[in-house]
Every structure is written in structure tokens, then in C-alpha cells.
Amino acid sequence: MSSDTQIAQDALTFADLGLSPKVLSAVADAGYTQPTPIQAGAIPHALQGKDVLGIAQTGTGKTASFVLPMLTRLENGRARARMPRTLILEPTRELAAQVEENFVKYGKNSRLNRALLIGGVSFDDQERKLERGADVLIATPGRLLDHFERGKLLLSAVEILVIDEADRMLDMGFIPDIERICKLIPFTRQTLFFSATMPPEITKLTEQFLHTPVRVEVAKASSTASTVTQKLVKSGSKPWDKRAVLRDLIRAEDAELKNAIIFCNRKVEVSELFRSLIKYDFNAGALHGDMDQRARMTMLANFREGKLKLLVASDVAARGLDIPDVSHVFNFDVPIHAEDYVHRIGRTGRAGRSGKSFTIVTRSDTKYVDAIETLIGKPIEWHDGDLSTVVESEGDEAPRRGRAGQRGRGRKDEGERKRGAHRAKADDEKQVPEVLASDGAEQDERRSRRENIKADNAERKARHEAPARHEERRQRHHKEDDDKVVGFGEDIPAFMLVGAKI
């Protein structure tokens, strides 16, 4: 399908790659002199207009490997209204926003227009940028197609297409959208395709949309960085057991812990864990898909700037977080998809730095751990003994008593254990003050909307039932009239009883 390029660690500099003087100046101002292996392998081929298939783990500089050659090639020419010259597709809003930041940083000497099309932002603002003409269009697939279907965007002038984090696109169900978008772009385009893993579905996609690509692979697909120390940590199966284990880990690592991302599998667990950490006086924030875009960006900015030490996140944050110096990653939940483990722990140990990852494991998680170890090709060391050392008091259900003479005592012990567990759970889940003003505002807004909907429904129901109530009142009044005595009743005057004379 393609020619393989073996990347050796040479004393290459960015000046050796063929980038323009303007781009080289911006790279030097950013403090970089030597390219990473993926950059050294991909940039020369991208500058020549070839299709590139880049495979590298997270934190290896994939973004710059397509941003820098694109900036060099875009120096000549200007975009027309609603007709972008290049298109970069990203799976998440955060990653799209960070790619735009890279264009700002490395393109400061180039007069290029950019447009960022992501959800949670006004359509009108985005349409105004498209009308001015976008040399670089960065978008998530859904919002891009929304603009296209509204007639505000034409893709017939796209010269370079970048599909970034392709395996994440697959996980999020974007592949049909990607296929549709690729058919809207000229066949003669250049395609740069990047992924950390290469499942069969992604391989089929590359065969469909890339033309004799150069394959640049700097590490085994689905491998983890050697600079990250990985550990498994045993826990009982109850949520409050896992929260206690996490708190102990954070305290034990306090001397080396600069900041940490804590991953959960579900949004509801993000909220519960965040509140628990706040209750125990940890400096924590939360990040999940239900937050509006402004709140998410503010939370990320606070974490980058060191205002937050812990960031509790769902897998929306597992890809594309450009935070170069995260010291720890904690997997509060073992990821269901083994590939997500690679991307989660890739948030630490970036750019040659050392990092640590701890994954909290219960007995029901063993099949997921087995899948992760198979994917990365090596076992993960246990931190303090494996699951065989978990005792029942740590949260698992106690076994039934076998002998009749112990049944009563067993029930009593079981009752005491359950009451203690309920007390622990209640204590751990006490309500704490909400520190996210944006979350509170969202809750107030949702509550207000619910109340308005109820009021509208009640008014509509009243209007609908009014004629029926009026008819019921009319019939009731008629019945009352029928039951009334008409005339004198039994008190008839005597003169009226006298017979008439003829």
C-alpha cells in the first residue's frame, strides 16, 4: 500500500526539513530546535504534497507535523469567501481549539485567516469568519456538516485535508461523517492522516481515501510511552471504596504530584467524584461533555495555569489535551476499550518527561485489564498486591455462613457490615458547595426551563378543558332547574279549589 519510512534519532533540526523562513522563525521563538521523530518523518513528505499516514502515540508532536508544512504551503495565495483552502477534522472541541492555538503560535508571521467550527459556539460568529475567507478551517465533523447543509460552506477548493486522531473518530461514531465529507472534497487533494492506533476499520479507511501514502510510524501502534510508570491498584467494588483508595493514592504521591488528571468512564461518576474530592478539601475541577463550551475552556485554562491541581474528566479529555507537564494520571475506572487506556496515560510523560499512572481495579475489571495488557504487549505491575489480597471488609459482599449454628451470627455481622457501608456511603456523598458557577447557572437555567414548560402545559390543558367544563356546568344547571318545584306545591289557596260556574 505504501512505502515504510524508518525514523532514526538523528541530530536533525527544523531547518533541515525544508520549512519556510517565517515558520522557522516562529518555531525558534517557541523554543524548539529539534523535531520529534514523527515530525522529522512526516514534514518533508507533506511539503512535497504526498499523502501521509502517520502512526504515533499521543504526546509525540503529531499536531506540529501537519501544522508546520501547511503553514509553509499556504504562504502563497488567499482563500475566497466560504471556500476554505485547507480542512482539519478533529474528534473533539478541545482538540480543535488546541490545533487553532498551534496555528496562532506557529503562524504569527503569516497573514492567514482561520475559522474554527465547533459546537457550543454561535453559528453567526462562525459564518462571519467563513464569509471573510478561511485559509485554514478547523472543525468537528458534525458542526462542519451543519454549515454545509445550511449553504454557508463550499468544500470544492480544499487543497489539503487532515484527519487527526482517526481512531478516536471511530470510537465516537464519526466515520460515516468522515466518508461523506471526503466525497465533498476534490479527489486531487492531499490527505494527511494521523492515528495512535490502527484497528481494521481505520486501515480500510486509509485504503479508501489515501493515494499511495508514505507510512511514518515511530512507535508500535497501541504502545505506551516508556517514560510513564504504570501501576494497578486493588480496590473493593463499591464506589466509596474506590474513592477512599484514590484519596490515599493522591496523599501518598503528594511529594511528586504536580497536577493530575483523573479519568472516569461516565459523566455521572465525574460529578460524584468531583464533589467527593471537594468535600475532602482537594483542589479539583471537573470536565465532561454536558458542560457548555465556555465552561470547558475555562476549566482547562485553570488547570493549565496551575489554579487547579486535580482535573476529574470523562474520555472527552482523553484526547488532545495539550498540557505538556502533567505529572500523574489516575484511572478511577478501568477503561472499557483498551485503546482508551493508551490515550489516557498519554496525558503524562509527554515530550520525554517522566510520569506516573495508577489504575484502580476491582474484581469485575479483570477482563478489561487483560485486554489492556494484551494491547500494550506487557503486564502492568501491581502497586500493593493484586486482587487476591482484597478482603471482604473492603467492600465486596461477604460469603454466606455454611454451618447452621453460625447463621444467626452471620446475619447479624452482615447487617452491621451493611449499616456501616451505608453510613460510609452517606458520609462520602454529603452535599458540598458547588464551586463551578457555570454548572450552577446551567442547573438554574434547566430548572427555569422545566418550570416554564410546566406552566405552558398547564395553560394549554386549561384552554383545552375549558369548553368541556363550561358544558358540564350548563348541564348541571339544567338538571338543577328540572328538579325545582314549579307552582304552589301543596300550599294551594282555597279560592282556587272552588269549581267554576258555567
- Per residue in 354-370, pLDDT (tens digit) is 899 999 999 999 999 99
Of 6-15, 27-36, 291-300, 468-477, where does the model show the most confidence?
27-36
The pLDDT, as a whole number, for residue 460 is 59
pLDDT classification of 26: cutoffs 50, 70, 90:
very high
The pLDDT, as a whole number, for residue 357 is 95
Residue 191 resides in a domain: yes
Q: Are residues 121 and 247 in the same domain?
A: no
Bridge partners, residue 396, by sequence: none
pLDDT over 50 (residue 150)? yes
pLDDT over 70 (residue 458)? no
Bridge partners, residue 162, by sequence: 88, 192
Q: Are residues 208 and 269 in the same domain?
A: no
Average pLDDT over residues 289-295: 77
pLDDT classification of 489: cutoffs 50, 70, 90:
low
Q: Are 387 and 233 in contact (CB under 8 A)?
A: no
Q: Are residues 114 and 235 in the same domain?
A: no
pLDDT over 70 (residue 348)? yes
Q: Are residues 239 and 171 in the same domain?
A: no
Residue 440 resides in a domain: no
CA separation for the pair 34, 31 (Å, rounded): 10
- Cα 423-429-431 angle, rounded to 5 deg: 125
pLDDT in tens, 233-276: 999 888 899 999 999 999 999 999 999 999 999 888 999 999 99
More confident position, 29 or 93: 29
The pLDDT, as a whole number, for residue 342 is 84
pLDDT classification of 323: cutoffs 50, 70, 90:
confident
Last residue of a domain, one of 163, 196, 217: 217
More confident position, 316 or 412: 316
The pLDDT, as a whole number, for residue 471 is 66
**Which residue is listed with cell 538523528?**
10
Q: For residue 106, what are the contacts with CB-CB under 8 A and spacing of at least 6?
A: 23, 26, 27, 30, 64, 67, 68, 71
Percent of the chain topping pLDDT 70: 72
CA separation for the pair 278, 267 (Å, rounded): 17
Q: Are residues 183 and 274 in the same domain?
A: no
**SS3 assignment, position 114:** strand
The pLDDT, as a whole number, for residue 496 is 60
Q: Are residues 208 and 240 in the same domain?
A: no
More confident position, 343 or 10: 343
Residue 480 resides in a domain: no
C-alpha dihedral, 121 to 124 to 125 to 129, nearest 10° = 130
Residue 107 resides in a domain: yes
pLDDT in tens, 387-420: 877 764 444 433 333 434 444 444 444 555 555 5
Residue 66 resides in a domain: yes
More confident position, 455 or 15: 15
The pLDDT, as a whole number, for residue 226 is 79
pLDDT over 90 (residue 477)? no
Q: Are 50 and 69 in contact (CB under 8 A)?
A: no
pTM score of the predicted model: 0.64
Q: Are residues 178 and 265 in the same domain?
A: no
Residue 258 resides in a domain: yes
Q: Are 38 and 54 in contact (CB under 8 A)?
A: yes
Q: Are 315 and 265 in contact (CB under 8 A)?
A: yes
C-alpha dihedral, 476 to 481 to 482 to 487, nearest 10° = 170
Write the CATH number for 255.
3.40.50.300
Q: Are residues 367 and 331 in the same domain?
A: yes
pLDDT classification of 498: cutoffs 50, 70, 90:
low
CA separation for the pair 454, 440 (Å, rounded): 21
pLDDT over 70 (residue 109)? yes
CA dihedral (118, 121, 123, 126) positive or negative: negative
Q: How many helices (H) and strands (E) does the chain have?
A: 16, 15
C-alpha dihedral, 209 to 215 to 220 to 224, nearest 10° = -70
pLDDT over 60 (residue 15)? yes
Average pLDDT over residues 344-351: 80
Last residue of a domain, one of 354, 383, 398: 398
Percent of the chain topping pLDDT 90: 48
The 284-287 sheet, strands edge to edge: 284-287, 310-313, 260-263, 328-331, 355-361, 228-234, 381-382
Q: Are 288 and 313 in contact (CB under 8 A)?
A: yes
Tell me how far apart the terminal alpha carbons of the chain are, to the nearest angstrom: 129
Q: Are residues 374 and 257 in the same domain?
A: yes
Q: Are residues 233 and 155 in the same domain?
A: no
Q: Are residues 289 and 324 in the same domain?
A: yes
pLDDT in tens, 111-137: 899 999 998 888 999 999 999 999 999
**SS3 assignment, position 357:** strand
Q: Are residues 87 and 145 in the same domain?
A: yes
Bridge partners, residue 161, by sequence: 87, 191
Count of domains forming the chain: 2
pLDDT averaged over every residue in the chain: 81
CA separation for the pair 96, 119 (Å, rounded): 11
More confident position, 93 or 350: 93
pLDDT in tens, 172-193: 889 999 999 999 999 999 999 9
Residue 275 resides in a domain: yes
Last residue of a domain, one of 350, 374, 398: 398
Range of the domain at 312: 228-398
**Which residue is listed with cell 473493593?**
236
Residue 456 resides in a domain: no
- Indicate the residue type of 362: T
The pLDDT, as a whole number, for residue 474 is 64
